[in-house]
Chains A and B, each alone.
Chain A
Amino acid sequence: MRVLSSLVIVVVMMLVGGSAMAQDRTPDFEAYAGLERVADDLADQWRENHEAFERVSLLRERFPQVLSQTRGRYADLRQIVNLDDELFLPMLWALASDGPQMFGMDLQAFRAWRVGLIQGIRTYGDERAAPVLLRIAAGDPHGMARERAAAAVGALGEPEWIQALVEIAEEEAWIRPQIVTGLGDARRSQTAEYLLEVATRPGEEDETVRLAVRALGDWGNQWTWRTTEYDGIRGEWEKGRLQIIEVLVGMYLDSPRVLQVEILKSLQLNGAGLSAEAARGVAEREEGARGEALRELARRLDASPLD
């Protein structure tokens, strides 16, 4: 199936040609996996506002230059293009169609371009992007693309898409770390439950457990939740973070140091004061060095600059 859909893409790419956004031939948008639901919208915009497609095309052309002047691995699309409404669909199409060719970029620039597109598309919070993003999350060769696509889908906050991400994560262990990381941005109860399940799952890879603990910190990040963006669902946080704190404090003593460091961070993000209280509570039930280790954890949480 993958091969068949890929062949379709190749044929379409050949028809469209290297300058994929030439106005005179409207692409068969429906042929691109993930674009089926927006094919008509894309065709309309192609005819009515072709300039937006050309903007994306030009941005892609200039992207290697932008990246060469960016420190590190990725350029933030928010800082290199005005992400106005008209760019959403052209960027989505670019993301869906750019796989087979690198448009003159080197491999690193090409990978950064796609991650940039994912991040750019995410800012719209438009559910229509989910199918394209899910395909990337499920099988892109680039780990960061998988992670950011998962995060972008998760950030939509829709239970059905979050469930789709969980299913992808469970399907193949080698991509689970990226999906788990991305799920930190999916701030709904079901995500916290899944991440807690991964974090405490017997036999799970150590690195995946660490990333799940880390994602729980992102999920419950108190300074994110205090913005008005999450006004409607803050109850999920209040409940979820108590659960997270209880589980992470319970994990602390028997975790290796690298995981303890991660737990300490996630506890602070979810609420240092509440976490300190929980640690002291558990310490009372522990004896000797174990109890003292938890009291030390509580002291460190008390000293947190957060809260």
Chain B
Amino acid sequence: MDQRFAYVALTSLFLVVIGVGCGEDDTVYLSEDGAGERTIRFVGYTGDPPEIGVEPLVVVDGARTGVVDLEDPLDLEHRFDPAEGFGALFLANIDDDAGRCIDLPDDESLWDCSDADLEEIVNEEDLLDMARIRTAPLAVDGLEVVGRLVVDEGSLDRVRLYLRTGSGDRYQDFEHYESGDKISGELIAEGLDFAMEGLGLIEDREVWDGRVELTWQVEVEGQEEMFEDRAHLQQAPVLLRHHLDPARIVFAATLGSENLEFRQDLVSAIEEAEVPDGYQWFNTWDPWTQDHFENGYMSVPGPDGQRVIQVYFRSGNLTYPGGLEDVVRRAYQLQGRNVPPALREAGAVVHTELRGPGSTGVVAFSRDRGFEPPNLDGLDVDDMARYLVGAPSNQTYPAVSTHYDRVMEWDTLDSMGNTETIPPHVSPSGEAYPNGRIIRGDGPGAFIRPDTQLSRLFNAQGQQEIVWVDTSWLLVAHVDETISFLETPTERGWSVLVADPAGAVEIFEDLEAEGRGDAVLFEGKFYPDWSCWNCPDIPARTTVSETLNDSNVMGASARAIVEVAAQIDVLREEVGIDDDDLVDIPFLMDDLGAGLAAYQPGIVNGISLRPDFFGAPKPHGPVVDGEDVFEATVNHILGELGIEVYWIENWDVYHVGIGEVHCASNVEREVPETPWWSKEVSQ
């Protein structure tokens, strides 16, 4: 028989039955200090109402103050279904507080190492990464009681609990606690203190959305009833950074001394912008520091402000498709070589250089970028390997060719230069994105897109749903090549910097009309000739008129105009930008066969180091009256918005390697003072 009982809490600790009612489920309703009803479930009760009941109470940081306070009405009120801006949060404890994830034997063992591997708390910092959960003391004198804290089934593998068993509140006082383990009445009487850690990021909301339900169960000996209370916690999302957050530190690669001029300019820019932590060089030969990783963060309320774990996503750039591993391995064997490690080597910096206390490196990828590999059962691996490298083979294997191309041809979309963040906005459909929104490049159809795993993970955070624009027409295919965002004193508060080849052509045509068709671009700039050790470099020098008559450059620039316009159409639709939000940045594009790329250094592809300070690639445009026309034009355009442009030399290595300042660097930004859960945006 279903029964409903009304209780009045005389104290929060001990209850006396004063009334009985009938209900439709086994539920006991409690009146709580007159503040409204809350629910405890009364499981399996079928008999007469108990004369004595206990009120188990489990409390979390529902108020988001950084501490769990049994007396705080907000902690009590918001331990169930949280209202906007309330409800307890917890971190995925995937940093490396003890520094134990450094010296590992190979790349793959670096991928997943973190504090979450351990069933112990390693130090005080580790303890601070955990959410605290408290149960109220229960006056159980005279009663034999047993308690259990139970994690909901769907979260069992996602979180780990610790129970304070020592007398202090230090990390050594906590022991690993398995969900559902019995706890004796003696401990229950004093009230319990738990710590909880997330074991990994939310990867797919359809599998697990980060919400954890805890049930605090108390059984009283001699009674069949089990008294329960519940609390909910939500794992904090990982948020990517946008250009309105102030820069904290800038990363770039050393490349021996090949990029010395670039680094000198970059350091000057960093110093002039007063970036608080300056810069850090990575000792790697891969110049594209932007592409190795993307910086995000998780934060939760802490006793002294936000408790933060920096998250560095390593790019999932593959060296070969996992589904063709046998074929690829054989192909390499035919050449007397071993297959390379699965991932782009330089990305390991997220594990080896950036992971530590309060920070972590994450890799989220699939070996075939989410594509179904072909079934190769019964086929001749040797023959397929020969086919794949163009060696004599007995037959052709279109499925092998197609799969290899699908996985590897667009692997460049997984570079993090293709993952940027639109600043906070409200979409035309009224959806608010107070922490901004991720923007990534893909292409038409089903096969031109980044690895589905990381995209799914980004969307699973539930905060910065991805906006997709077509970048497949670019050789490198990264969104940073044509679009950037800067804080501006405009109504919206920020603007979109957009590649503007039409504007560049106009500049060139004006120069020609003024009789300056022989003005020189790229004066003193060269491409290296790699075909001999002592060859002279190849002069890049050309003129305004030659450029206007270059069918490659002109055709590519026209193509870029329509493609960028299509990207902007998406931003209009998804973000609600209008013409006033656009800042056109002129430079021409070139057709490199496999796609388009910036012909002149792509000025849009720079870095925001301060709201009024933009580090851009030096354009080496035609010089008129001692002034680079493109520098002057962009100085004027951005100057009107109160932004100073700092011109950074990046021709060698970077521009000739099809990238610019932004591609060459990676800016980590300050965690906003206003926590992500309190942010608001009005337009």
Contacts and interface: CB of A to CB of B under 8 A. Distances in A.
Interface string B555-566: 101110111011
Interface in A149-197: 151, 174
A58 B530 contact: yes
A122 B591 CA distance: 13
B592 A74 contact: yes
Given A81-B530, A258-B445, A227 B554 contact: yes
A108 B562 contact: no
Contacts of A87: 531
Interface stretch (A41-49, A65-73, A232-240, A286-294): A65-73
Nearest to A258: B444
A82 interface: yes
Interface stretch (A23-31, A126-134, A139-147, A277-285): A139-147
Interface in B377-423: 387-394, 396-398, 400-402, 404-405, 408-409, 411-412, 415, 417
A145 B558 CA distance: 24
B653 A69 contact: yes
A88 to B, nearest CB: 13
Interface string B467-498: 00010000111100000000000000000000
Contacts of B478: 71-72
Contacts of B531: 55-56, 58-59, 81-82, 87
B535 interface: yes
B387 A141 contact: yes
A55 B532 contact: yes
Q: Which of B285, B335, B653 has the most CB of A within 10 A?
A: B335
A234 to B, nearest CB: 12
A79 interface: yes
A15 interface: no
A10 interface: yes
Nearest to A122: B593
A226 interface: yes
A301 to B, nearest CB: 11
Contacts of A82: 529, 531, 535-536, 538
Interface in A94-119: 98-102, 104, 106-108, 110, 114-115, 118-119
A166 B74 CA distance: 73
Nearest to B554: A223
Contacts of A306: 502, 558, 561-562
A149 B405 CA distance: 16
B656 interface: yes
Given A73-B409, A228-B549, A305 B502 contact: yes
A230 B396 CA distance: 38
Contact of A174 (B340, B393, B402, B656): B402
Contact of B444 (A99, A114, A261): A261
A269 B559 contact: yes
Contact of A107 (B320, B402, B530): B320
Contact of A224 (B400, B444, B533, B554): B554
A6 B391 contact: yes
A144 B394 contact: no
Interface string A292-307: 0000000000001110
A143 B394 contact: no
Interface string B585-597: 0000000111101
A241 interface: no
Contacts of A81: 529-531, 538
Contacts of B559: 217-218, 221, 269
Nearest to B448: A207
A66 B558 CA distance: 29
A221 B556 CA distance: 9
A102 B653 CA distance: 25
8 contacts: A62-B530, A72-B476, A82-B538, A119-B593, A174-B398, A218-B559, A227-B551, A262-B444
